[in-house]
């Protein structure tokens, strides 16, 4: 009798859109680990964070076998994939490979990271993968990021993840010196807002300040990337600042 071997079902998504090179190469790299289904936004949806579409319908077009383009956010994609499009609950969700790192404070803006978080909320193990490359770079080499994404994914499939935990993997440009387990760091932004004028003479603003650097804390994600290492941070959704609970309990807010 032939013993049936278990083939993991892996769902791939991103926030750069289904046509981005990062997701195409990631999906190809993960095919050695199991069946891969891509459910991703039909256009770039970077920096939408954990947004979910509630006030208009969301459509999913199957553009080829195992590939669905969704006119929604990364969080919509994870919901649609897990609850509608996939034949069963996936064993792993991999989000990326994002063009640009998602480190420190950036992760709360990131659609790439939010997609992995959404999967975690549905009890599906998940990892977000980002490459520390400039948005202006035209010829991006995803090969090392693919190989780390594949290795980390394999470990998740083998060992699972702790409860309420998902992973944030960032890869430096060039050949990584290795991988470090890190904590979420702290960016320094200039918070500058550009005021410009459009061709019709009306003012407009351009948001998104420059990153001036980061606070070098021990074991932080920014430090690992700056030193040429891949960075793997275990994240959870609990944003509570436990140290502050005691301080707030002395406030006289009761009537
Ligand atoms: Mn992106």
210's tokens: 């420059």
Residue 247 lies in a domain: no
Q: How far apart, in whole angstroms, are the C-alpha atoms of residue 49 and residue 106?
A: 10
Q: 160 CA to middle of ligand 1, Å?
A: 26
Q: Helix or strand or coil: residue 81?
A: helix
Percentage, residues of the chain above pLDDT 90? 86
Residue 193 has pLDDT above 90, yes or no: no
- Maximal CA-CA distance, the chain: 77
Distances from the Cα of 241 to the Cαs of 49, 60, 147, 213, 233, in angstroms?
A: 21, 38, 36, 24, 19
Q: How far apart, in whole angstroms, are the C-alpha atoms of residue 30 and residue 228?
A: 24
Distance linking the first and last C-alpha atoms of the chain: 74
Could you give the residue ranges of the DSSP H alpha helices within the chain? 21-30, 74-80, 111-121, 143-159, 221-226, 242-249
Strand 203-206 and strand 230-235: the pairing is: unpaired
Give the pLDDT of residue 95.
98
Strand partners, 206: 194
Residue 58 sits at the vertex; the CA angle it makes with 89 and 87, to the nearest 5 degrees, is 20
Q: 26 CA to middle of ligand 1, Å?
A: 14
Give the pLDDT of residue 3.
58
Q: How many CB atoms lie within 10 A of CB 183?
A: 16
Q: 110 CA to middle of ligand 1, Å?
A: 7
Q: 133 CA to middle of ligand 1, Å?
A: 11
How is residue 185 annotated by DSSP?
Answer: -
Give the pLDDT of residue 48.
95
Mean pLDDT (the chain) is 94
Q: 99 CA to middle of ligand 1, Å?
A: 6
Residue 210 has pLDDT above 90, yes or no: no
Q: How far apart, in whole angstroms, are the C-alpha atoms of residue 205 and residue 77?
A: 30
Residue 25 has pLDDT above 90, yes or no: yes
Residue 153 lies in a domain: yes
Give the pLDDT of residue 16.
97
Q: 135 CA to middle of ligand 1, Å?
A: 9
Residue 204 lies in a domain: no
Give the pLDDT of residue 2.
56
pLDDT digits (tens, 9 = 90+) for 217-250: 899 999 999 999 999 999 999 999 999 999 999 9
Q: 98 CA to middle of ligand 1, Å?
A: 5
Per-residue pLDDT band for 214 (boundaries 50, 70, 90) equals: confident
Q: Judge whether 210 and 156 are in contact, CB under 8 Å.
A: no
Q: 27 CA to middle of ligand 1, Å?
A: 16
Residue 1 has pLDDT above 60, yes or no: no
Q: 177 CA to middle of ligand 1, Å?
A: 24
Strand partners, 230: 179
Q: 159 CA to middle of ligand 1, Å?
A: 28
Q: At what angle do helices 21-30 and 143-159 cross, to 10 degrees?
A: 50
Q: Judge whether 12 and 80 are in contact, CB under 8 Å.
A: no
* Containing structural domain, residue 51: 9-185+216-239
Residue 201 lies in a domain: no
Is 248 exposed, middle or buried, given 0-12, 13-18 or 19+ CB atoms closer than 10 A?
exposed
Residue 20 lies in a domain: yes
Residue 154 sits at the vertex; the CA angle it makes with 220 and 63, to the nearest 5 degrees, is 100
Give the pLDDT of residue 120.
98
Q: Which residue has the higher pLDDT, 190 or 41?
A: 41
Q: 186 CA to middle of ligand 1, Å?
A: 20
Q: 46 CA to middle of ligand 1, Å?
A: 4
Q: What is the mean pLDDT of residues 26-39?
A: 98
Q: What is the mean pLDDT of residues 179-207?
A: 92
pLDDT digits (tens, 9 = 90+) for 155-192: 999 999 999 999 999 999 999 999 999 999 998 877 77
Q: 172 CA to middle of ligand 1, Å?
A: 16
Q: Judge whether 145 and 183 are in contact, CB under 8 Å.
A: no
pLDDT digits (tens, 9 = 90+) for 94-121: 999 999 999 999 999 999 999 999 999 9
Q: 96 CA to middle of ligand 1, Å?
A: 8
CATH number at residue 37: 3.40.1210.10
Residue 255 lies in a domain: no
Percentage, residues of the chain above pLDDT 70? 98
> How many independent structural domains does the chain possess?
1
**Which candidate, 30, 33, 36, places its Cα nearest to that of 6?**
33
Residue 166 lies in a domain: yes
Q: 19 CA to middle of ligand 1, Å?
A: 12
Residue 136 lies in a domain: yes
pLDDT digits (tens, 9 = 90+) for 53-78: 999 999 999 999 999 999 999 999 99
């Amino acid at each position: 009798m032939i013993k049936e071997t278990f083939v993991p079902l892996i769902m791939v998504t991103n926030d750069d859109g289904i046509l981005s090179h990062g997701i195409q190469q990631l999906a190809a790299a993960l095919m050695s680990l199991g069946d891969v289904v891509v459910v991703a936004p039909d256009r770039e949806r970077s920096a939408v964070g954990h947004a979910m579409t509630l006030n208009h319908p969301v459509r999913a077009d199957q553009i080829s076998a195992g590939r669905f383009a969704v006119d929604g956010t990364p969080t919509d994609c994870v919901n649609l994939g897990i609850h509608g499009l996939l034949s069963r609950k996936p064993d792993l969700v991999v989000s990326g490979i994002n063009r640009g790192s998602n480190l420190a404070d950036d992760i709360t803006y990131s659609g790439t990271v939010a997609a992995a978080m959404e999967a975690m909320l549905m009890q599906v193990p998940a990892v977000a993968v980002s490459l520390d490359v400039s948005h202006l770079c035209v010829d991006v080499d995803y090969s090392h990021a693919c190989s780390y994404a594949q290795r980390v994914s394999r470990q998740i499939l083998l060992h699972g993840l702790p409860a309420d935990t998902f992973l944030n993997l960032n890869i430096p440009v060039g050949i990584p010196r290795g991988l470090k387990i890190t904590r979420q760091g702290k960016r320094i932004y200039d918070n500058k807002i550009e005021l410009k004028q459009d061709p019709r003479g009306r003012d407009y603003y351009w948001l998104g300040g420059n990153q001036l650097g980061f606070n070098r804390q021990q074991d932080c994600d920014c430090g690992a990337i700056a030193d040429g290492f891949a960075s793997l941070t275990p994240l959870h959704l609990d944003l509570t600042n436990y140290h502050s609970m005691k301080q707030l309990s002395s406030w006289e807010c009761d009537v």
